[in-house]
Structure 1
Amino acid sequence: MSTYTTSVDTQDRLLERPTHETSITAVKSIPISTRYGYVLVTQQGTSGRPVMVTYHDVGYNSATQFHHFFSFSEMIPITEHFTVYHINAPGQEDRATPLPSTSVYPTMEELAETVNDVFNHLDIKSAIAFGVGVGANILTRFALKYSSKVYGLILINCISRGLSWFEGFSLKWPTQDMPQQTWTDPLLTYLTWHHLGYETQITHPDLVQALRRHLEENVNAKNVIKLLNSFLKRTPILMERPNESNKNSNPPKSLKCTVVNITGFSAPHKDDVIDTNDKCDPAMSSYVEFADCGGAILEEQPAKTAEAIRLFLQGLGYISHLSIPKYSIANRLTEQAAEYKRRNGPASRAPRRTSAPFDAADSGLYGNDSHGEDTDDDQNDYGNELQLRVDSFEDRNVKI
């Protein structure tokens, strides 16, 4: 099995507070009462700016899923230009008290209604929604029902299908002890697979240990199991690619906002993400797959994820002033042009090209002919010819 290098921090990031906390990354807690129970919302960023709303995956919460990520160096330029509200599902915050045994946990549709209650309480007119796993499913349902309140959707490992018979069969063993309301080894194993997939568990055992410690020490097992049960009983999201027959349907059967679906090459829910992307309007959606990543996108590749989010937001008209980070294609082309001039003299003009590996200068792709003379393409000024390949997310799918 292939191995790869990622940006996973070997320190136990799930169990510690963000480092270098500033006024931008500091967290403010906002308790909100909704029609389906109490939820805790945490805020990062300065108030009075464009709003981004996040929703976590099962077994995580705002602290362990998003606080570190939005404090990451590549995300700080984005965090400081948004007011970010992180929604915790009922009973999922760190060291939450157990929910009453007699309480009925909200369904996925009802959790989407709690998102609307949060919007109303905080007087949010429109926002960028950012969800991971179960949170992506909830925010997609919310965007379908309240399309005017969601300007853009960032979905990581979104599952829009209902529980398949195969998935139900594979879950029979790990979930058979769930009425005990305590962690069992099969259940921890299932959640580890749900978040990481098989390959990440092999290549990053430290991340597996951090996740299991987080589940055992940070969150309430009884409450997490209630959310997991709700997710396992989910109904399919009634969404389809827009066409003449459904474009005016009420409620809408297609997302009206711009969407980016993100997953990893070895993510356990990759097929589900592709299925979700196929249901979106191709003119308003894109698919991003990280070739060197499993299921834990925010932990394994935070820099690349921040780059994808930056491009998505710039496509919506936000933060257009931000410089190009190291992972962008345009920056790589510029570096290659500088390397070409270093090798061939400052007066040389690097030829135009559309794409090539980072070491293209060594591979002859900046083609000189057999006599050592520049080809016809070399006659064009590189500064005028270079086309930034960072196109709109609306036009193409991306594999990073």
Structure 2
Amino acid sequence: MPECWDGEHDIETPYGLLHVVIRGSPKGNRPAILTYHDVGLNHKLCFNTFFNFEDMQEITKHFVVCHVDAPGQQVGASQFPQGYQFPSMEQLAAMLPSVVQHFGFKYVIGIGVGAGAYVLAKFALIFPDLVEGLVLMNIDPNGKGWIDWAATKLSGLTSTLPDTVLSHLFSQEELVSNTELVQSYRQQISNVVNQANLQLFWNMYNSRRDLDISRPGTVPNAKTLRCPVMLVVGDNAPAEDGVVECNSKLDPTTTTFLKMADSGGLPQVTQPGKLTEAFKYFLQGMGYISGACVSLGGQAYRERPGESSQESNSRPPGDRAPLQPVWGQAGQREAKPHSETRRGHRAPEVPGEHGWDGWLHT
């Protein structure tokens, strides 16, 4: 891969062109961060707030970032011709190796939301050696049955497409309150995303099959995600039940479940600071930030010997020695070798009755 591919690219894949935006340049042998947005959005609407957050930029300067737009969902996309067959969710996942190979990435850390989380999970199941870790927000591992299909069809008859999509993205409470955020997304979904192309993506997402994963040991030859996973959902999100079920199907030794307090359907937009903090711990668990560092409010602090992160964080700022995160050198981990980290290294525990959730309440 050349020094810098910064900018927009159209990548040929077995199932058509894929619009990709690269930010930054490769950092040695570190994985790329690859994002995939939810239905109704594109990479800008889904991730700009999160990736433009100051502390997140401190992280991403150590990685190349690859934003993937689902076919026809990018800003300014041409409308697909009559009769165009939108790729299935499995085919969307099968398009991603072409992106990885085109840029010469060895493996990626995926960050997906909703439909994008499903695509990345499917990608990791089919091509496990290309995926180093996954952050899956608002993922629903279940396919759509006939009742769900009928309800979706009925909703399409009584609501506009943007309003139907909004009910997928936001909680009922958020919609009833009609917050500025909801109003903004209604306007942008209506005017920024090509409506015909969006309808095709929406229809395909609502025709998806079960993700077909099971917790290891529960069934013979269980399929599961082999990489570290961080599941994320707001405690007031429409996807909450789906994410809880997904958590029950994953390996508990490599999965972290983050339920964000006082958060609705788009935690990466409404609470980018808390999500960034969790992502730092996730990277620490994979060996990309030294375990001797914990981050608090954009500043990193060293723990005292024998002291927990919670005890360290409870001390006043003047009693903590500031320390910048220690990033592993290119191709060298601070924790475990690649195969060990991918197969069984667990993210560090965070104090709280409900794991990450208890910590993020504070």
| Residue of structure 2 in register with 1:398 after alignment | 356
Query: Unaligned 5+ residue runs, structure 1?
Result: 1-23, 178-184, 342-389
Separation in 2, partners of 1:244, 1:332: 34
2:111 equivalent in structure 1? 130
Q: What is the letter of the counterpart of residue 295 of structure 2? A: I
Gap change, CA 1:336 and 1:241, over 3 Å in 2: closer
Q: CA deviation at 1:59?
A: 1.1
CA–CA separation in structure 2 for the residues paired with 1:214 and 1:339: 41
Match of 2:70 in 1: 89
Question: 209, 214, 217: which one pairs with 1:240?
Answer: 214
Matched, 1:314 2:271: no
| AA partner of residue 391 (structure 1) | P
Residue 136 of structure 1 aligns to a residue in which SS? helix
- The 2-side partners of 1:331 and 1:317 are apart by 17
Aligned to 2:237: 267
Give, in angstroms, the shift of residue 46 of structure 1: 2.4
Question: Contact between 2:89 and 2:205, CA under 8 Å: does it hold in 1?
Answer: yes
- The answer for the alignment partner of 1:346 in structure 2 is none
In structure 2, the CA distance between the partners of 1:28 and 1:105, relative to structure 1 (3 Å rule), is same
Could you tell me which amino acid in structure 2 is paired with residue 337 of structure 1? R
For residue 118 of structure 1, what is the aligned residue in structure 2?
Answer: 99
Aligned residues: 316
* Higher Cα Rg, which structure: 1
Residue in structure 2 matched with residue 29 of structure 1 by the alignment? 8
In 2, the alpha carbon distance for the partners of 1:97 and 1:70 equals 26
| Aligned amino acid, residue 33 of structure 1 | E
Which runs of 5 or more residues in structure 2 are unaligned? 302-307, 320-346
Amino acid paired to 1:43: I
1:197 to 158, 171, 179: 171
Aligned mates of 1:71, 1:36 — CA distance in 2: 31
For 2:258 and 2:313, the matched residues in 1 are separated by 24
Of 294, 297, 301, the residue aligned with 1:326 is 297
Distance 2:114 2:280 in 1: 20
> What pairs with 1:214-229 in structure 2 (closer than 5 Å)?
214-229=188-203
Residue type at the aligned position of 1:289: K
Counterpart in the other structure of 2:137? 156
Counterpart of 2:297, as a letter, is K
Q: How does 1:280-295 map to 2 (within 5 A)?
A: 280-295=250-265
2:17 pairs with one of 13, 31, 38:
38
Q: CA deviation at 1:336?
A: 4.3
TM-score normalised according to structure 2 size: 0.80
Q: How far did residue 217 of structure 1 move? A: 1.4
Q: CA deviation at 1:186?
A: 3.3
2-side partners of 1:297 and 1:187: how far apart? 23
Which amino acid letter does the alignment assign opposite residue 338 of structure 1? P
8 Å contact kept, 1:194–1:268 = yes
Q: Does 1:146 align with 2:127?
A: yes
Q: 1:244 to 1:167 in 2, by over 3 A?
A: closer
- 1:305 corresponds in structure 2 to 275
Identity of aligned residues (%): 32
Aligned partner letter, 2:356: V
Alignment of 1:44-123 (within 5 A): 44-49=23-28, 50=30, 51-123=32-104
C-alpha distance in structure 1 between counterparts of 2:123 and 2:22, whole Å: 20
CA displacement at 1:168 relative to structure 2: 2.8
Partner letter of residue 35 of structure 1? Answer: P
* TM-superposed deviation, 1:27: 5.6
> Compared with structure 1, are the counterparts of its residues 45 and 176 closer, same or farther at alpha carbon in structure 2 (3 Å cutoff)?
same
**TM-fit CA distance, 1:337:** 3.4
User: Aligned pair in 2 of structure 1 residues 87, 67: CA closer, same or farther (>3 Å)?
Assistant: same
> Root-mean-square deviation (CA), in Å?
2.8
TM-score by length of 1: 0.73
- State how far apart, in whole Å, the 1-side matches of 2:148 and 2:282 are: 32
Q: 2:341 is matched with which residue?
A: none
In the TM superposition, residue 340 of structure 1 has moved relative to its aligned partner by 12
Kindly state the Cα deviation for residue 187 of structure 1 after the two structures are TM-superposed: 2.4
Distance apart, 1:137 and its partner CA: 0.2
- Checking the alignment, whether the CA contact within 8 Å between 1:201 and 1:207 is kept in structure 2 is no
Question: Which runs of structure 1 show a deviation greater than 6 angstroms over 4 or more consecutive aligned residues?
Answer: 327-332
CA distance in 2, matches of 1:304, 1:162: 30
Amino acid of the residue matched to residue 276 of structure 1? C
Q: In the aligned structure 1, how far is the partner of 2:224 from the partner of 2:69? A: 26
Change (3 A) 1:336 1:279: closer
State the partner residue of 1:186. 160
State the SS of the aligned residue for 1:174: helix
- Is the 1:326–1:332 contact (alpha carbons within 8 Å) kept by the matching residues of 2? no
For residues 237-267 of structure 1, the C-alpha deviation after alignment (integer angstroms, 9 at most, x for no partner) is 1110112864xx4xx7111101010000000
Q: CA 1:229–1:83 in structure 2 vs 1: closer, same or farther (change >3 Å)?
A: same
**Superposed displacement of residue 122, structure 1:** 1.8
Contact persistence 2:49–2:272 (CA under 8 A):
no
